[in-house]
Amino acid sequence: MNGLAERLRSWGAERTSTDQKIVMSKLKHREFEWQKRAFSRNARAGQTPERGYDAREAVNENLATVTAELQAAGVESVILPRSHPFNPILVVAETQAELLLQALLQLNADDGWGAHAMGVSGRRGELSKFVPRPAEVRRIHCQRRLHAPSGRRLNTRFEDIIIEVWEVLGDNVERVDGESHIPGTLHRRISRRGVVVEYLTPQVWQEALSTGGQISLQYPHLYDVVDPVDIVYTWVDGDDPDWQLRKRRSEAAITHGAVNETATIPSRFTSRDELKYSLRSVEAYASWVNHIYIVTDGQVPEWLDTDHPKITVVDHREIFADSEALPVFNSHAIESQLHHIPGLSEKYVYLNDDIFFLRPTNPSLFFAGNGQSKFFPSKAPLDIDPPSARDLPVLSAAKRNRSLLQREFGRTVTNKFKHTPHPQLRSVLAEMEKNHPKEFERVAR
C-alpha cells in the first residue's frame, strides 16, 4: 500500500507544474490573503497572545488557571511528579468528580478554553455529557487554544492540562506486592502506563495539599538532562557584496572539475530570513536553551537584536585554529571549528538556519541523562563507491566520514544523517581534533 501511495505521489508530481505546486503549497499553509483574513475572523476572542509564544510558559499559565478554578470550587487536587514540563497530571478523588465537572465548565470558552472527558469505555465526550454520570469520568483534558494574528494555531496537545479521577480505596485492598493498601489511599483507575506514581497514601495526599498541592521528586530523574545545552547556528548573507567578492576570488583558485558543481551554486548561500523564523521557533518550542551562538563571516542579520542576553554573534576569525584558512565557504569547514567557540557549553545542538522546531521539545530529545549525545540516521543509503566530484557534497562528506570510521574503529555506516538538529559534545570534538589533526586541518580548508 505504501508503495502504491508513493507511486501515486510521484505520478502527480511529474504532471504538476512549478507554478501549480506553489499555489498548492500556499493553499496548504494558508498563505493567501483571503485565507489569512478568513482564519483571522474565525479565531476566538482572547486567543491571540500579546507577546511571543513559549510553550513552557503556556503550560504553567494553563496549570495556574485550572488549579485556580478547582480551588475556587472547593475541589482538592494534587499535581503528580513528572520528568518533563508538559502535560501535567492533576489527581482528584472520585468523591469530588461531580464538583470537578462543574468547576471545569466555568473555564472561559471566549478565552480559548475547552475540555473533554474520557469515560469508562475509553470514549471521549464533552464535559456536559458526563454531568449526569460523574462516576464514569476517568480522565479530562483541558486545553487553551492560542492563535497567531494570522489565525495559525500556536498551542499543541503538549500544553494540555490533564486531570485524572482516582479511586478511594477501602479496607483490605491488595497491592501488587501482596501487601494491603492503607484505607483511604487514592489509586489510579487507568491501566495505561505513563505516570511516575500510581497511588497516593492518605499521608502523602495530605502533605501534598499542605504544601501547595504538588508532589516533587527530590532529585533529578535518571533520564533528565541537567547540564546547560546551547544552540549553534551557522549563517551567511549571500547578498553581501563584500562576501561575494571574497567568494569569487576563492572560486577562481578551484581547479575545474575538482568539486561538484552544486557546491558553489548561489542558492546554497541565499538568505531568506530563515534564521529569523528558526529563532522564533526556538522561543516557542525550545526555550530550555541556555545560549544561542550565531557563527558568521563577519556578518550580522540587520533585524537581529545583538543586545539580547541569550544571543552571541561569533566571527569565523574567533574560532578557526588556522586563520590562514579563511575565508571559507564550505559549511563542513565551519562545522569542524564550532567547538572553539568561546564560552560554548559542553552540550550543544548544531542547526542550519533552515531548521525549525514545530512542537514543544525537551533536551532529552537530543541528549541522554548519562551525557551521551544522540544521532538521527537517514533512511537514504550510501553507495559503496569512494567519494568523488560526481557526488553531491553531502554524499561525499558522508563517504569520507565512513572511511574514517572504518580506518580508525573497524566499523562502517550505510546511511547519511537526516537534515535535523545535530547534538554534539564539545569535549568529543576536541578529542577528535587532537587525535586526527591532519583531517581537521584538511577539512578546515
Q: Kindly report, residue by residue over 185-212, the tens digit of the pLDDT.
A: 999 998 777 788 999 999 999 999 999 9
Angle in degrees, 0-180, between the axes of helices 97-104 and 55-72, rounded to the nearest 10: 120
CA–CA dist 317, 342 (Å, integer): 12
The whole-model pTM stands at: 0.84
Is-cis flag, bond preceding 327, omega within 30?
Answer: yes
Within 108-147, residue ranges assigned H as helices are 127-130
pLDDT for residue 278: 97
Q: What would the pLDDT profile of 148-176 be if each residue is shown by its tens digit? A: 888 888 999 999 999 999 999 999 999 98
Q: What would the pLDDT profile of 307-366 be if each residue is shown by its tens digit? A: 999 999 999 999 999 999 999 998 999 999 999 999 999 999 999 999 999 999 999 999
Tell how strand 139-144 and strand 161-168 pair up. antiparallel
Sign of the dihedral defined by the CA atoms of residues 90, 71, 114, 287, in that order:
negative
Which neighbouring-strand residues pair with 415?
381
For residue 263, give Cα distances in angstroms to 292, 332, 333, 382, 385.
27, 11, 13, 19, 19
Q: Does residue 268 surpass a pLDDT of 90? A: no
Nearest alpha-carbon partner for 187 in 162, 169, 174, 172? 169
Pick left, alpha or beta for residue 257 (phi over 0 → left; psi -120 to 50 → alpha; otherwise beta). left
- Amino acid in position 89: I
Q: Does residue 285 surpass a pLDDT of 70? A: yes
- Amino acid in position 236: V
CA–CA dist 41, 35 (Å, integer): 10
Tell how strand 113-118 and strand 124-126 pair up. antiparallel
Q: What would the pLDDT profile of 210-226 be if each residue is shown by its tens digit? A: 999 999 888 999 999 99
pLDDT for residue 265: 66
Q: Does residue 261 surpass a pLDDT of 70? A: no
pLDDT for residue 256: 66
Cβ neighbourhood burial of 373 (10 Å; 0-12, 13-18, 19+)? middle
pLDDT for residue 243: 86
CA–CA dist 408, 400 (Å, integer): 12
**Grid cell in block for residue 266:** 548561489
Nearest alpha-carbon partner for 425 in 354, 356, 374, 373? 373
The hierarchical CATH code for the domain 229-376+420-444 is 3.90.550
Q: Does residue 262 surpass a pLDDT of 90? A: no
Contacts of 14 (CB under 8 A, 6+ apart): none
Q: Give me the residue spans of the domains in the chain.
A: 55-210, 229-376+420-444
Q: What is the mean predicted confidence (pLDDT) over 230-259? A: 84
Asked whether the beta carbons of 341 and 359 are under 8 A apart, the reply is no
The percent of residues in the chain predicted with pLDDT above 70, rounded, is: 91
CA–CA dist 43, 32 (Å, integer): 17
Give the confidence band of 46 by pLDDT, cuts at 50, 70, 90. Answer: very low
Greatest C-alpha distance within the chain: 86
Q: Does residue 43 surpass a pLDDT of 50? A: no
**Grid cell in block for residue 313:** 554573534
Give the confidence band of 45 by pLDDT, cuts at 50, 70, 90. Answer: very low
The hierarchical CATH code for the domain 55-210 is 3.30.460
**Grid cell in block for residue 63:** 496549570
